[in-house]
Structure 1
């Protein structure tokens, strides 16, 4: 008996469509899992998602029935095909991805000649592994189970292991129990080791690169087989005389970039998003929704039209920062991940955690500092190859082959990490990379202060004439923008200094020549990229990180934190030296005690308690932010444990409201204006 499908093309508001949909839902009851779920054939899910019958009915009525499935193999009579021509049944995105990659290998074999001079890639060598994975994607978990394959079961179980932080021992025990409790002839592996071997074929792997103990070099490329560092002559191994396996002092993990960029185009689920930037520009004048709307992107396109003419060429952003992997702040250890993101995608995807690509994992215990370039060498060499030669790539969305190229658009860091990547030191009198030698700085009581921000105001701005800032009238104009030729001239005349932290070589303290080097500590490795000097914006500062630092300083000053407040005795002494804000100067009593007048920008003791109680009583929607009641100490005197997003909520939402009852109106206005500018 044939199945009536004519209703799927009718008006979804008609009675005929509703009657056909109701009959289809009844048919779905014969194809449900034990959990009461069935594949949803709506235009959005396309049989990739499992939903309840109620949701399937709602989805089809809202989004329509997908036109991509003329044969109802999931909801009707199964299609019987000859065994020799059988086609693997689709089992979700994992299977689809494997099929796309398998198709890429097939197309490569039929379209690429070995002697082609444009062939800059090697033929894929994963046929046998992919064939095996495709078989696992269609293999039943146990006889009679047709709703989840063996491979999908392993993928989901390993995801639970990672998110729930199960140990390998507990995972082995779980697999043994599942193997014993499931029906006989099941395909569940007996150990974590066996499961990992299967899933490793899906992943892309990484490369272990040994590092000199003093960060002088990496044992890679021409120095892959060296036994000692060719800079400081230190041994590569912890115990060079051992008869067993030699262990290196430090090991860096490098995750190759090219295979993962190719994989974005190999899967039709991601390939269609990789050209969003070509049609997703903002149409509102003066607004920027995505880097494609910025002058850096547009300026690059104008200079390199051959790269811009292919919308599938990849633009990357690089972020790096240090963290303590042990979660114990008493242990001094800094490990640095280097992460890339793809700006071809729309903003809601390119900033999603699942699209971030970890490329380097730089070991500690100390941060790389100005030796960062030593660790970036493999990545930069790969970026140079992707820029000059490109790589043959199969686009699953159009079923065509093209030469994919890639470029690094900019980096995103906090200020200390920016110093490590750019080569411009973040310390000293010339810290500001924008002002450079014109940085307005001075020395006050053992600290370097930067107090010349008024020079960026308009010439007729009244604050320029005010003496309340530093006791002087500001007459300077903002510094001129540094040209490409000026920057290149500065970095090209820098003297060479040996890398590393060995006390006799790179780690030896030296005095910088301010006339020649300014505040440069090195020539950044990124200048080896052909296009890097021509980029208008090379290094971005992490706004959330800066906002966190500003909010911490503001909160500690408002709450009069004894150790972290910026309103210190030395700060009051500077006010007296500059002859400004006399009401805040330190006073001496008759008995010789030093008294610090209470400022109007800090809370009183009673107001601190009331403000903390206000924060404790704040209720936020689910998923909007942390539970602030847990961030207030028991005595209602401090806020602790705030994360970057918590500080963002504090600056944008809570502080402008919370301080109104306890500070003067002019102080409240200053905080509100600071909030709007952040």
Structure 2
């Protein structure tokens, strides 16, 4: 068997360990390398200068409010594999291992040889011994999971002013003063006290409290995300313990909705662009033309961030965003290249560690035991094993009754407490018509009946067919049953004889592995599975109908046939006063209902949605909700026709008949606007914040040039320590 290494997947610190390129210092970007745009500010390195990616005649290049300079540089050039190999020829080859004597001996040899290294390459990775490695366009992946988490932490920490995570500190304001930019945000001295103006990208104490209440009220569908409300401490006013997936959901779903009422349009636009950038990048279908737009759009987003947030905001993680669309073009879907699955597996391995003094042995022993048990379970019958264990949300238990009619074969399983109800004659007639009208196998009979009514000269055919088709179809099947027999005829006879007056109700049901609940059941839970969405025709157009599940009915036919129906309340979305869209989000008024005489829908006709409080409208009216669509990972959708004539630029043979999962990149609209109208960066109606006078006075006495030189010297010391790294990465390092 032969194998080839396509690329490596790891977090950013491990990127430097595996590749041999130092991810620290002024040249921390492994893509830009020596041409990385960075400079020193108080206490850290700032990675700004993204205007260099703009077109040469762009007006933003001449604006000195970004970093105090006029940008004339061109975008950095990505080096080829052969050019990198030429650089690695001069890198000192250290011996592998962590023996102190070997490390000390290597340092002495470098000192005796007067070794100097002007690049960030610290050693030559063993991967370069592979013949094809220099020819690869992508060798090491930038991990989108950790980049997204770090960006989310910076954005949320700065906007909500979380201690220790906010980038808008006194040092950050002094950086603005050093660069002589954005004088509105400079520190102000009144008497012997110093004050910090309140920036437009931060929330007041009251707004922070309302934002945390919004996060506290969020309920996600079952299995979609963790309960993020547990990470809100209302007493201390903090967001804590956010995991990588929490930040993924927070950045893409919650931030644009929760911050809309509080931030200025200039700040809100760039937050939404940042959210939609990651949402489009993480889509389950990517098109080359969309990625080309993201490559250009992310530059505009970064430039707008530079014009708003202080330089301390821009660490290397913010800069790495600019390279993500190119990697997606080269390597494909993000889901195949991020760390979620790897971190999940590492979590399983760490659970094997019982003796922390010997982690490698504990993991090896636990892994072997698990593999042995899995192998033995293949020969165990009559008991539950990892190979025959049912799904978490099975849509059927036991043997499914087979029928020639698809409406009797729906992959649906009701659950919860069963109750019996007796249908009225109107309810029975309404349910029977809906089932007959939505059974694909009965379409020829509906067409035949429609032609019959047309021949009779009836004008209002739709209403007459709704009233008379059930009786006409019953008589027709009775006549056919006298001469024709068989399974197909038996099923037609069952559906024609109408349903029983006695029906069952449940609190929930499974449809294709997706869980649906009634609203009354979800009010007692921490999840939300009662929201539904249906696409249907209205006035000749395809419209979106949103609603909630009030009841789940199981109606019965002859020969033990059953049909599951959802009885819903539909929100009125007809008119701008009942529904509006902003920043690619749809908000609807839940106080007004629609089609109250048509509440029923088949269980397999709906898709799951969940609702978030629209706090922008809630100030005046509590009845507005933001609709969030959910596409489950295990459900595949195959389009029946091309989507807007989309054809992949790189492979014209790919057409829309291929399966795709979740949202497509061309379903997410991102408008990267390059206009900047509002130049006010502070809140005029909020008083300045008093700062620690003694601490700020000491900061002002520090000579900035001396501090930069001191930081450079400390960086050189840190980079020498990187030479101690070994080629081998042990599991104990990973666990620590």
TM exceeds 0.5? no
TM-score (norm 2): 0.36
Q: Which has the higher contact order (CA 8 A, sep 6+)?
A: 2
